[in-house]
Structure 1
Amino acid sequence: MTSTVSVDIRRAQSRAASRTGWLDSHHSFSFGHHYDPDNTHHGVLLVSNDDTVRAGTGFETHPHRDMEIVTWVLRGSLVHQDSIGTTGVIYPGLAQRMSAGRGILHSEKNDSWRLGGEPHDEPVHFVQMWVAPDTRGIDPGYEQLEIGDELLRGGLVPVASGMARHDGQSAIRIRNRHAALHAARLRPGGEVTLPEAPWLHLFVAAGEVELEGAGTLATGDAVRFTATGGQRVTATTSGPAEILVWEMHTDLAGLAAA
């Protein structure tokens, strides 16, 4: 357990941004040419990108290695294709995980009509998160799972986990036994209690919430908790909200020492 208690609020407007004609991306941590040596990770979470991609465009085929990549779509649909032969369309309520392992190539595009259906002009908005694995050089892999029904219950739902206590629950498996991602869709006034963990990362994907002891958080705001947890998160009366919470029981130093 880490020893110094910290609740570090990072506002949406403080994030670095990458904008092109087809992409609007906001980075919670150092990413690409946006490098800050004091903002490289929290726990084992290295990337949390908030991306909006224009219809008919997207990320061309590119490589990854030794990373657990979880994608959570908020609006629209995203087509995934990779070098191990997987093709998948990701949409709200469908969790997706790609294990890069010893090496994988993949593309992500907003062009689902290539797989059937009519062209559209709706952008896709998604959060992509990268977590360091606890085992390097594994076989690359892919998994997706529909958990929309679970989210309707209003509590924190495990989305992606390598933790033993989530075996058999509605969570895709990641190769890190110390980490889990939870999501909650909250009605106005609805609340959840954060897990207790040495490292937590809360991201407000949509809406506005009140964090116990810290005040109001808006869309795009994030909080990094160290050596603390158990706070209540409540959607304000202004409307529904959606949050993503990483629960982590080690950090990069702990992985390296294991």
Structure 2
Amino acid sequence: MRTIIHKAESRGHANHGWLNSYHSFSFANYYDPERMNFGALRVLNDDTVSEGRGFGTHPHKNMEIISIPLEGDLKHMDNMGNSTIIKEGDIQVMSAGTGVEHSEYNKNKDTQVKFLQIWIFPDKKNVTPRYDQISIEDIKIKNKLYQILSPNPDDQGVWVHQNAWFHLGDFEEGSSDTYSFKSEGNGAYVFVLDGELNINETELNKRDGLGIWETDSFVIEAKTVSKFLVIEVPMEF
């Protein structure tokens, strides 16, 4: 087993006033040649957007873009004709493919919105752009990992053009579960949303990230009440 740890305080940081963003990997003005990606995982941004503010219309191409709201309501609009609201308990996916333009705004004038913005390199380029979002409230399981994303359109959660799986964990203190890799040659990036975890004697705190590869499985133990995300992606792509 090989691992790499990214402590919360080691992330890139940009505070634009209306946007307070932490970057687990190189992004915009934050550049670290040692932290360009973890396998096919290219971007993991932890964003807080001020009341009524947001990202104006901008383009993407040939990237799988996943948004996971943690707090508040995020309004999405794109040139595919989608105009939606995503909130805590939802997951949104957009296959940029041949090219898409979209905007994202905090819908509310009195509360912040917090969300994870995740980019995955696709396994095929120039696909037809696609948008989807679902509520994951009805698939949530306490003290067990539950799947929210996969490569299979018929599987639980949303899907992407990549051999990748996302699982969420909402654990009580002392709870544990084993994560078994879905595909040989993949790695997993565990990102702690809240609480404290122990993974193979490595202690992780809020907003820490741990990459794990060259193993078949690993055990995640919650030292406190904890929420976390497991992102499985190909290490070679």
Residue 160 of structure 1: how far off its partner (Å):
1.5
- Measured in 2, the distance between the counterparts of 1:195 and 1:59 equals 37
Which residue number corresponds to residue 202 of structure 1? 190
CA contact (8 A) 2:150 2:156 kept: no
Which residue number corresponds to residue 173 of structure 1? 159
5 Å matches for 1:62-101? 62-101=58-97
Residue 152 of structure 1: how far off its partner (Å):
3.5
The yes-or-no answer on 1:133 pairing with 2:129 is no
5 Å matches for 1:19-168? 19-111=15-107, 119-162=108-151, 164=152, 168=154
Residue 187 of structure 1: how far off its partner (Å):
2.0
**Percent identity of equivalent pairs:** 35
Q: Tell which deviates more after alignment, 150-159 or 12-21.
A: 150-159
Code of the aligned partner of 1:83? N
In terms of fraction of residues, the more helix-rich structure is 1
Equivalent position to 1:220, from 193, 207, 221: 207
CA contact (8 A) 2:6 2:209 kept: yes
Residue 229 of structure 1: how far off its partner (Å):
4.8
Secondary structure of the residue aligned to 2:85 is strand
- Measured in 2, the distance between the counterparts of 1:187 and 1:149 equals 19
Name the TM-score, length of structure 2 as normaliser: 0.93
Secondary structure of the residue aligned to 2:32 is coil
Residue 147 of structure 1: how far off its partner (Å):
1.2
CA RMSD, Structure 1 to Structure 2 (Å): 1.5
- Measured in 1, the distance between the counterparts of 2:175 and 2:116 equals 22
- Measured in 2, the distance between the counterparts of 1:129 and 1:26 equals 12
CA contact (8 A) 1:200 1:229 kept: no
| Structure 1: tracts of 5 or more residues without a match | 112-118
Q: Tell which deviates more after alignment, 5-14 or 153-162.
A: 153-162
Name the TM-score, length of structure 1 as normaliser: 0.86
Residue 96 of structure 1: how far off its partner (Å):
0.7
Residue 201 of structure 1: how far off its partner (Å):
0.6
Secondary structure of the residue aligned to 1:194 is strand
- Measured in 2, the distance between the counterparts of 1:142 and 1:186 equals 30
Residue 181 of structure 1: how far off its partner (Å):
1.2
- Measured in 2, the distance between the counterparts of 1:186 and 1:108 equals 30
- Measured in 2, the distance between the counterparts of 1:88 and 1:175 equals 22
Secondary structure of the residue aligned to 1:231 is strand
Code of the aligned partner of 2:226? A
- Measured in 2, the distance between the counterparts of 1:120 and 1:68 equals 29
Which residue number corresponds to residue 232 of structure 1? 219
5 Å matches for 1:176-195? 176=162, 178-195=163-180
Secondary structure of the residue aligned to 2:180 is coil
- Measured in 2, the distance between the counterparts of 1:77 and 1:208 equals 27
Q: How many residues align?
A: 234
Question: Which string of whole-angstrom CA distances, capped at 9 and with x for unpartnered residues, describes residues 71-123 of structure 1?
Answer: 11111111111110111111111111011010000111101xxxxxxx54211
Which residue number corresponds to residue 228 of structure 2? 243
Residue 7 of structure 1: how far off its partner (Å):
1.2
